[in-house]
Structure 1
Amino acid sequence: MRLVVVSNRVSAPNREGKAGVGGLAVALRAALRERGGVWFGWSGRVSEAPAELPHIVQRGRVGYAVVDITPLDRDEYYLGFANRALWPNMHYRLGLTQFSRAEFAGYMRVNRRFAAALAAIIEPDDLIWVHDYHLIPFAAELRRLGIQNRIGYFHHIPWPPIDVFGALPGAGDLLTALAAYDLVGVHTERDAGNLARSFAEPVGGMPVPAAPRIIALPIGIDTAAFRAAAQHADANSVVQRMISGLGDRPLVIGVDRLDYSKGIVERLEAFERFLVANPDRRGNVTLLQIAPPSRSEVPEYEQVGRQTDETLGRINSSLGDTGWMPIRFVKRSYTRPVLAGLFRNAAVGLVTPMRDGMNLVAKEYVAAQRPDDPGVLVLSRFAGAAEQMREALIVNPFDKFEVAEAIGTALAMPKDERIARWRVLYEGLCRHDIGWWTQSFLDALTASAPLAALPRFSPGVSRTETIA
């Protein structure tokens, strides 16, 4: 049985085999190599007249099948409905949700065209695994083309309550489309419950579709590989320069895309509150915030960039001096080995998104720590990781005083307590790593029951399966 992975963006390895090294990409590539298969999606290129059939690059047992999109597709499907309507809505930000019928039509059109391109190369026994919010209608479009294969979907961002999701025009159509999947995975019990209840209530006067199977399956990281990278990272020149520049000051670290859902402005203000409340700490601790820009073409992301710059300038100018700046802010990305080394040398990992599907930075920070002298994770209770990582200091990111107090608690925590908390967290990362997550989803998708006999939701019933 061949595996077909579908995602919004696909980056084929070059001839030397180098490709993206994100945790999910590594895991999916390993699963594809084991089974043989195809990774299908957008090439990242924009073309005035894209080919109807995918361009396929073969690397061993894996074929990377990519299609281009038009400038209009990019504006309506990607920058428009996916990232100005679905993304803010699913992160509970109704005030930022911008709906356009033209962009919704473009989103559906691109999914239809992607499905037609993949259908041309599908084999009868292929197992299809679709990823994330860009592709909610994908299975429904395949079904319209007569594809009867088993199709699973994993939703990597939060699924909001029905009162939030139902406010999005087109929500009923999206639920109807989602019902075409045989299995839908989300990261947390909260998201699974929200999704189940979405199928239990009519949306916009539309009849309630029969729901797919829903599982709560928290994604992990390649724990062993990330720990190994951290162990060897002290020799890295970037890590050495950063650590030498700190002197004896403890490091507090945050790593996020520059996105309004990550709570970066609120985090900077919480660190400011910590310094104001603890004047003896001024000059003696540094926050390093790494925040590479993303989706800069979307106006809301330009705005969060401006807000961040203004907040950063105010804090550093009011609290810093000639020999010390409270916050070092870097708007660029670093390789995973560099991040692993920085995490390993940070006394506090500050992971405080306002809302997040999972947040793997929290898990990477824990995996990178020294077992005999680990740092402390401060984690938003609105990150999916908080359901698993209860030994972290769990905080409300909307309350900057609470976050400030947690920073102080983390920096003052005795070593024996830090070690005890870290051990429990690390053991959980080892048990539920990225390989476990991948295999668990595929096992659930390939359950031995015939396709028509798989258990499904009934209207009015909120039932989910949990893989723990």
Structure 2
Amino acid sequence: MSRLVVVSNRVPIPDKTGAAPAGGLAVALEAALQERGGLWLGWSGQTSETDEPGPLRTETLGPITYALTDLTRTDVDEYYFGFANRVLWPICHYRLDLAEYARREMAGYFRVNRFFAERLAPLLQPDDVIWIHDYHLIPLAGELRRMGFKNRIGFFLHIPWPPADILLAMPVHEEIMRSLSQYDLVGFQTDHDLENFLGCLKREGMGQALDEGRIQTEDRIFRGGVYSIGIETSAFAEFAEKAAGNPTVRRTKRSIEDRKLIIGVDRLDYSKGLTQRIDAFERFVVGYPAYHGKVTFLQITPKSRSEVPEYEAMQRALAEQAGRVNGSIGAVDWVPIRYINRSIARPVLAGLYRLARVGLVTPLRDGMNLVAKEYIAAQDPEDPGVLVLSRFAGAARSMKGALLVNPYDVEGIAHALSRALAMPLDERKDRWRVSMDDLLANDVTRWCDDFLRDLG
């Protein structure tokens, strides 16, 4: 069996026992690497104090070698904070108004991808199967091809792919499209993303779809496919059941008394629809006065990319918005919104999911959104909560038991909250069962196996 080589922007550093940090993606990829033997390479998250990134650091644990490289401050500013997160991220999330293109940062993005290729090249073997992840590393296969590598190379995009009218506004869209054509298999989260990708190729006259997922470009044929990422469903369900007894979860349950809990969990980002969500909750409480003092909305939003000024401003604005709503509709003995701006330990989070009557997941645009899937997996089968889900999240393509909403429609979300909280037990069970069956059939291990089977 061929060795598997995984490349991602960051590498989950094993702890002293050799276990990767908790999380579905890390669990699945580590399992695949354990089975095949392999290498996982990426950025250490550290910046060097000089203009040189320093040597590659490797650590072998069992059949897996973890290879980490530092980057220079210039690299991080141009490649990561610059082109990846100020151009590709907003473009792929349909936010042309937030894209800030600079030629210097574009050059840094391609330069760092070339650097990753140079770090990876001495470690590669002729029959290695290479799996590259996400928008940070789109050009990596092209760099490896230019160095003469003919290995099977796959790419998976964890975020959405936009339609042609949006992508073509990016000055280097042709270079990005040509970079993707250098892979043997390009995987997307949903059929909509794949359709958008094919539409971009057709609009620019750069390629066309053939049969069986094959795509013809000027100089080669490669494949595109849909591989909707899942979670470790059964394990997370067991985890959540045990987490219900966590001391923090138990204290939270006591503190909300007999109120119904609505929970939202999102990394701080403009794509998550957080301001609209808070507006919708306020509209719900005002429009449905019977719930005044009877519900608590817990929004957990860890900081994200705080070095980027726009994200720091967003953090302040959300805190002010939550404070305004609490001051406007709260009471002496009732704080309607609990806004937490830090990470919560996974055992606590799983228990909070199980405690919540409603999971409120309303991104403006999301590749998949695993919070939606974790919320469903965490529910008590005998008394499950209801998922209120944005129709613009990739998860909406398969989670048929959710109440789908338009995240821009605050009245519609308010109505869905009322419906979810009033929903009878039998309907809640039926809706949960439909979504849970899908999660069990399409967990993260199947996602990993399906992609590697098709790549191989």
Same fold (TM over 0.5): yes
Shift of 1:303: 2.4
Gaps of 5+ in 1: 447-468
Shift of 1:336: 1.9
Partner of residue 240 from structure 1, selected from 250, 253, 269: 250
- After superposition, where does 1:90-239 map in structure 2 within 5 Å? 90-202=92-204, 209=218, 212-239=222-249
Partner of residue 434 from structure 2, selected from 424, 441, 456: 424
Partner of residue 279 from structure 1, selected from 285, 289, 302: 289
**1:22 and 2:23 correspond:** yes
**1:127, 1:151 within 8 Å by CA — same for their partners in 2?**
yes
Alignment RMSD (CA, Å) = 1.4
* Residue deviations 1:213-244 (CA, integer Å, cap 9, x gap): 11011100000111011110122111111111
> What secondary structure, in the 3-state scheme, does the structure 2 residue paired with 1:232 have?
helix
Moved more, 21-30 or 76-85: 21-30
**1:200, 1:208 within 8 Å by CA — same for their partners in 2?**
no
User: Residue 307 of structure 2 aligns to which amino acid in structure 1?
Assistant: E
**1:316 and 2:326 correspond:** yes
Shift of 1:26: 1.0
**1:202, 1:208 within 8 Å by CA — same for their partners in 2?**
no
* Residue deviations 1:132-187 (CA, integer Å, cap 9, x gap): 00000000000011111000000000000011011011110111111100000011
Partner of residue 381 from structure 1, selected from 384, 388, 391: 391
> What secondary structure, in the 3-state scheme, does the structure 1 residue paired with 2:298 have?
strand
Write out the 4+ residue segments of structure 1 that deviate beyond 6 Å after TM superposition: none
Q: Distance in 1 between matches of 2:250 and 2:15?
A: 30
> What secondary structure, in the 3-state scheme, does the structure 1 residue paired with 2:123 have?
coil
Q: Distance in 1 between matches of 2:77 and 2:433?
A: 46
* Residue deviations 1:423-457 (CA, integer Å, cap 9, x gap): 111111000000100000000001xxxxxxxxxxx
Aligned length: 444
Partner of residue 358 from structure 1, selected from 368, 373, 376: 368
Q: Distance in 2 between matches of 1:50 and 1:33?
A: 33
Partner of residue 423 from structure 2, selected from 410, 413, 423: 413
**Aligned-residue identity in percent:** 55
Partner of residue 61 from structure 1, selected from 60, 63, 69: 63
Gaps of 5+ in 2: 207-215
Moved more, 11-20 or 26-35: 11-20
User: Residue 417 of structure 1 aligns to which amino acid in structure 2?
Assistant: E
TM-score by length of 2: 0.95
Q: Distance in 1 between matches of 2:32 and 2:293?
A: 48
2:213 paired residue number: none
1:46 paired residue number: 47
1:10 paired residue number: 11
User: Residue 338 of structure 1 aligns to which amino acid in structure 2?
Assistant: V
Q: Distance in 2 between matches of 1:236 and 1:255?
A: 18
Q: Distance in 2 between matches of 1:49 and 1:35?
A: 36
1:458 paired residue number: none
User: Residue 32 of structure 1 aligns to which amino acid in structure 2?
Assistant: L
TM-score by length of 1: 0.93
1:71 paired residue number: 73
Moved more, 44-53 or 187-196: 44-53
**1:5, 1:39 within 8 Å by CA — same for their partners in 2?**
yes
Moved more, 336-345 or 120-129: 336-345
User: Residue 261 of structure 1 aligns to which amino acid in structure 2?
Assistant: S
* Residue deviations 1:236-257 (CA, integer Å, cap 9, x gap): 1111111110100010000000
Partner of residue 83 from structure 2, selected from 81, 84, 88: 81
